[in-house]
Amino acid sequence: MQQRWFLEVSFMGGAYHGWARQPNAPTVQQCLEEALALLLRQEVETLGAGRTDAGVHARSLWVHMDLPDLSMGPKDLVHKLNSILPQDIAVHRAKMVPQDWHARFSAVYRRYTYRMLARKDPFWQAMAWRVYPFPQIEPMEKAAQLLLQHRDFGSFCRSHHDAGTTLCEIREVAWEQKDHVLEFHIEADRFLRNMVRALVGTLVQIGQGKYPPEHLQQVLEAKDRRAAGPSAPAHGLCLEKVGYPEGWLD
């Protein structure tokens, strides 16, 4: 009898080609599955709430897996996994859950933060993009509001995508400046591949005065990746939270 588990995973992505396993590149999923195999002496397949691009970080990514009866409790599992996993990957929580909970399909929303630096900062360099010249916030704020009025984000999706549909519902966008670190928070039911980085790249062009805020409207309507700006670098992006139905993971 297998039991379903949810694991909360956190990682600095700089050394990895994203979450999802790949044949010839180190990924977070591979590290996690290897640690599980070592600890439990059996192969374990994990399924994450979503993919992340190479170099992107995650403060909280939920993963599910099916395990036989364990001889240890959740706290022990977390502690032992952490001692096997490298420094840049951690497991924060483990929880036995009903069999039909699904890390990806049960997720209600995802929240990302993209960080930009107004000056060089050794303490943030691995986590934030040093943008030069630094963009003005006001026009970016104005443009970002337009995102809430649209559903089709085809212009912010890699051309050869396999997403099926390019519809997303953006629930919230917010900007937060803490000294010389500017954060762009965005929450949606789903994101297309590369979408946040393409959005940020386009918003930064607006903040740098290359286009007015209304430009984003045309980009959105074009439904063509070429209408948008370049992708912002991966290392500024962090998956902050995956949301599940209320009460599930309290």
Contact 155, 219 (CB under 8 A): yes
In whole angstroms, the minimum distance from the beta carbon of 192 to a copy of itself comes to 26
Of residues 72, 75, 108, 119, which one binds a copy of itself by CB under 8 A? Answer: 119
In whole angstroms, the minimum distance from the beta carbon of 178 to a copy of itself comes to 13
At 195, list the tokens: 């979408």
At 79, list the tokens: 């502690």
59 binds a copy of itself (CB under 8 A): yes
* Beta-carbon count within 10 A of 56 CB: 25
The site that binds a copy of itself (CB under 8 A) totals a number of residues, namely 18
Contact 190, 151 (CB under 8 A): no
Contact 173, 101 (CB under 8 A): no
75 binds a copy of itself (CB under 8 A): no
88 binds a copy of itself (CB under 8 A): yes
Of residues 35, 36, 40, 89, which one binds a copy of itself by CB under 8 A? Answer: 89
87 binds a copy of itself (CB under 8 A): yes
Give Cα separations from 163 to 46, 86, 154, 225 (angstroms). Answer: 21, 32, 10, 14
Q: Is 63 exposed, middle or buried (0-12, 13-18, 19+ CB in 10 A)?
A: buried
Q: Is 99 exposed, middle or buried (0-12, 13-18, 19+ CB in 10 A)?
A: exposed
Closer to a copy of itself by Cβ: residue 42 or 123: 123
Of residues 53, 121, 152, 189, which one binds a copy of itself by CB under 8 A? Answer: 121
In whole angstroms, the minimum distance from the beta carbon of 11 to a copy of itself comes to 5
Of residues 75, 92, 151, 210, which one binds a copy of itself by CB under 8 A? Answer: 92
Q: Which residue has the tokens 């519902």?
A: 169
Site for a copy of itself in 123-182 (CB under 8 A): 123, 125, 127
Q: Annotated active-site positions, please? A: 53
122 binds a copy of itself (CB under 8 A): yes
Q: Which residue has the tokens 């399924």?
A: 47
Q: Rule CB under 8 A: which residues touch a copy of itself?
A: 10-12, 57, 59, 82, 87-90, 92, 119-123, 125, 127
